[in-house]
Amino acid sequence: MGGLGPLVLCVKVTNAIALLDPLTLRVHHLEEKKYRVYNFKAALTSKQLVEYIVLDIEPESPEICIDGSRYQLAYAQVARMSDFGKNDAIFTVRTHLGHLLNPGDHALGYDLYGANLNDDDMDMAMTRYSLPEVVLVKKSYEKRPRTRRWKLKRLPVEEDAANKAKGEEEKRLDEYEAFLRDLEVDSGMWSKMNLYKNEDYRSEMASTVGDDIPTVPIEELIEDLTLGDDEEDEGKETVEGNTHTGMVE
């Protein structure tokens, strides 16, 4: 498929699936019909991401933009956070995140040789090809949810009792927070969505958040209008119109 290597990352899903080779920056767009023909499944999912700390980063090529997303090939030295301070296991990997990562940053990635893979195709690929030990997927920012200057609007959803359990609610919130983080670092995503100004956001909150955490430019945000505001404005127009008519008569 488009000269891609044996291992690709799914970086975007629209009417087609965008597959990125993180070692070459080649991208292939797989249409739904072809996806059903190939009928392949993901070897690893976001639930298997491992956190790493970046020890060193060396850009290999200039930053480029593909489909609205920025990439830069670089070599990175990383260590698993779970191993940090316990052993000297360090991995040197090629990554597409050279424009984002600096020494001391955290990143999420796949530990190919440490993961429990029950996949014959993946086992064959690891035997046949020289796959990297680690594939970095994205930069990791602070874990705690934070107040953003923007918000999304969602339709209210009725949940059954099973989904209201504490564990399920925390899982849902964690997944939604991860989605928001992915959204704000990808201008190709948020440029196609309606993002509204968050009236609860205060500028002084920014001082408690790291400067390197990306955010959506304020000029991209839409003023938030509530149904109550609209009805009140319409009511004023009606009253003013009726008063004016009475004066004419």
Please give the Cα distance from 30 to 177 (Å, whole number): 27
Q: What does DSSP assign to residue 44?
A: S
The 10s digit of each residue's pLDDT in 148-186 is 777 777 766 666 655 556 667 777 777 777 777 777 766
Tokens read off for 248: 């004419």
Please give the Cα distance from 100 to 218 (Å, whole number): 21
Mean pLDDT, the chain, rounded, equals 76
49-190-72-53 Cα dihedral, nearest 10 degrees: -30
Q: What does DSSP assign to residue 71?
A: E
Q: Is the pLDDT of residue 225 over 60?
A: no
Q: Does the pTM exceed 0.75?
A: no
72 vs 4, higher pLDDT: 72
Q: Give the amino acid at 53.
A: I
Residue 231 is predicted with a pLDDT of 46
- Name the nearest CA neighbour of 66 among 119, 23, 100, 19: 19
Question: C-alpha distances in angstroms, 234 versus 100, 240, 241, 244?
Answer: 48, 10, 10, 15
Residue 80 is predicted with a pLDDT of 94
Q: Is the pLDDT of residue 96 over 80?
A: yes
